[in-house]
């Protein structure tokens, strides 16, 4: 057990060396963990992990681990959508998951994570919110997606989206609380999010933490089962050419098809 209290300057030097190394091997078509540019890490999903929640999924994407829970409770509809249920997504980057995460209210990273995952689910119209009305204009079902990051080794956006989609697919609306029968959450579509990182001039899917640390730009693309785009988010302070963007979109559509079948069985 040695203590790693480095000065910022030595941090910077280590960072520079790392970046150079990863850029060098990527120019030869390689990644630090031996994967191909379009290769995901292993995905393991355990659903129904939290039986007290209406839906849940424990997702491991390589060494990244995210637990997503879905709670479905009664609430008031928004005034401008009286005949529609409510979807709300929250993410917590708890300090358990990384030495760099801090306690406290959500910061810009956890807010961006929650909002990007929310966008993929909301814009794909995955959940049929119109079927979540109890009394029109008065009472509707509120679907809470809570993303709890347990172990951070890169690509939280994809791990969290997989977790949210998995948890929603198994979630039941507890309608027995209002004198009806419980029913499966009504699902219309299944979004798949694929995140890519740019290292040097190469773009690779599912970046690990080591790759994220040296990446200059990031792009996440969510598609539905028709191959349509439903959400997108470019991140970090680097840039993509328009051609790289289009290629990233194609990669996402391709991988989405495979995922939808292989991971979600649809």
Partner 1 sequence: MSMVSNIKLIDENGLRIDGRKFNELRPIKIEVGVLNRADGSAYIEWGGNKIIVAVYGPREAFPKHTQNPSRAIVNARYNMAAFSVDERKRPGPDRRAIEISKIIGEALESAIFVEQYPRTSIDVYIEVLQADAGTRIAGLTAASVALADAGIPMKDMIVGCASGKVDGKIVLDLNKEEDNYGQADVPLAIIPRTQEVVLLQMDGNLTREEFEQAIEMSKKAALFISNLQKEALLAKYSRPEEKEEVKEEAEQENHGDDDHE
Task: Give the residue from 75, 98, 95, 97 showing the smallest Cα distance to 87.
Answer: 75
Which range, of 2-10, 23-31, 33-41, 257-265, touches partner 1 by CB under 8 A?
A: 2-10
Question: Quick check: 55 and 152 in contact, CB under 8 A?
Answer: no
Q: Contact with partner 1 (CB under 8 A): which of 8, 29, 179, 181?
A: 8
Helical (H) or strand (E) element with 233: strand 229-235
From the CB of 13, what's the least distance to partner 1, in Å? 10
Residue with Cβ nearer partner 1 (53 or 197)? 53
Could you give the 3-state DSSP secondary structure of residue 131?
Answer: helix
Stretch that binds partner 1, among 32-40, 88-96, 156-164, 199-207 (CB under 8 A): 88-96
DSSP 30-78: --TTS--TT-PPPEEEEES-STTSSEEEEEEETTEEEEEEEEEEEEPPP
Quick one: 28 or 237, whose CB is closer to partner 1?
237
Q: 69: which strand partners?
A: 56, 146
Q: Please, which of residues 97-156 interact with partner 1 by CB under 8 A?
A: 97-99, 103, 105-106, 108, 111-112, 114-115, 119, 122-124, 144, 146, 148, 150-153
* Window 10 to 29, contacts with partner 1 (CB under 8 A): 12
Query: Measured from the CB atom, is 69 or 207 closer to partner 1?
Result: 69
235 binds partner 1 (CB under 8 A): yes
User: Residues 43 to 82: which contact partner 1 by CB under 8 A?
Assistant: 49-53, 56, 63, 65, 67, 69-71, 73, 80-81
> Which position among 25, 32, 43, 229 is part of the footprint of partner 1 (CB under 8 A)?
229
Q: Which two tokens stand for residue 256?
A: 């989405």
Q: What is the DSSP string of 179-216?
A: TS--EEPPB----EEEEEEEETTEEEES--HHHHHH-S
Q: By three-state DSSP, how is residue 154 classified?
A: coil
Measured from the CB atom, the residue of 4 and 265 that comes closer to partner 1 is 4
- Only segment of 4-12, 17-25, 29-37, 258-266 that touches partner 1 (CB under 8 A): 4-12
CA distance 47 to 44: 10
Task: Rule CB under 8 A: say whether 239 interacts with partner 1.
Answer: yes
In degrees, rounded to 5, the angle at the alpha carbon of residue 120 between the alpha carbons of residues 215 and 204 is: 25
User: How crowded is residue 67: how many other Cβ atoms within 10 Å of its Cβ?
Assistant: 21
> Which of the residues 154 through 213 are near partner 1 (CB under 8 A)?
none
Instruction: Yes or no: say if 217 and 238 are a contact pair by the CB < 8 Å rule.
Output: yes
Q: One symbol per residue from 207 to 226: x for binding partner 1 (CB under 8 A), - otherwise; what is it?
A: ------------x----x--
């Amino acid at each position: 057990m040695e203590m790693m209290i480095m000065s910022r300057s030595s941090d910077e030097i280590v960072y520079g060396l790392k970046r150079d190394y990863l850029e060098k091997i990527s120019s030869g078509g390689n990644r630090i963990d031996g994967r191909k540019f379009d290769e995901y890490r292993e995905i393991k999903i355990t659903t129904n992990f939290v039986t007290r929640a209406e839906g849940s999924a424990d997702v491991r994407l390589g060494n990244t681990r995210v637990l997503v829970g879905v709670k479905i409770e009664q609430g008031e509809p928004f005034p401008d959508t009286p005949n529609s249920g409510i979807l709300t997504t929250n993410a917590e980057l708890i300090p358990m998951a990384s030495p760099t995460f801090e306690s406290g209210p959500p910061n810009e990273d956890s807010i961006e994570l929650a909002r990007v995952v929310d966008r993929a689910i909301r814009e794909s119209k995955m959940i049929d919110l119109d079927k979540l009305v109890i009394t029109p204009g008065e009472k509707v079902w509120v679907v809470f997606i809570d993303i709890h990051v347990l172990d951070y080794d890169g690509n939280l956006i994809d791990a969290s989206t997989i977790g949210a989609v998995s948890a929603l697919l198994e979630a039941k609306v507890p309608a027995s609380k209002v004198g009806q029968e419980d029913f499966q959450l009504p699902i219309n579509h299944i979004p798949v999010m694929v995140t890519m990182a740019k290292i040097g001039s190469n773009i690779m899917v599912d970046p690990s933490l080591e790759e994220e640390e040296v990446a200059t730009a990031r792009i996440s693309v969510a598609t539905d089962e028709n191959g349509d785009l439903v959400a997108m988010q470019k991140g970090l302070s680097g840039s993509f050419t328009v051609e790289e963007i289009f290629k990233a979109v194609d990669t996402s559509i391709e991988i989405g098809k495979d995922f939808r079948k292989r991971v979600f069985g649809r």
